[in-house]
Amino acid sequence: MSALPNCPQCKSEYTYEDGNQFICPECAHEWSQVEEQDDDVLIVKDSNGNLLQDGDTITVIKDLKVKGSSAVVKVGTKVKNIRLVEGDHDIDCKITGIGPMKLKSIFIKKA
């Protein structure tokens, strides 16, 4: 007999399987058998709702002024090998001709 996990809500040991979910008969809590993502995993989505990962290639969808400079990152600029970080600007990258930058995910789309 395989050991079923205890209920994450009430810690009851009397859980059972129903399809692809576990159910607790004591508190009626239901949860998926698929492992949940860790809380420490950073989830960043582009302007279209696509999930981004470290190393992805993205495209800028709006002209972006570079703070402290007269340079502008033009629409359609492709950026390779991004790195996801926490904070207001959630993407670290290097843009050819400009250098290292931080971008907001709302101004990019996955290429």
Q: pLDDT tens digits, residue range 11-48?
A: 899 999 888 888 999 999 988 876 554 556 788 999 99
Structure tokens at 33: 């058998």
Query: Is 98 buried (19+), middle (13-18) or exposed (0-12) by CB count in 10 A?
Result: middle
> What's the mean per-residue pLDDT of the chain?
88
| Per-residue pLDDT at 37 | 47
Give CA separation, 95 vs 7, 12, 49, 78, 89, in Å: 48, 53, 23, 8, 15
| Per-residue pLDDT at 65 | 94
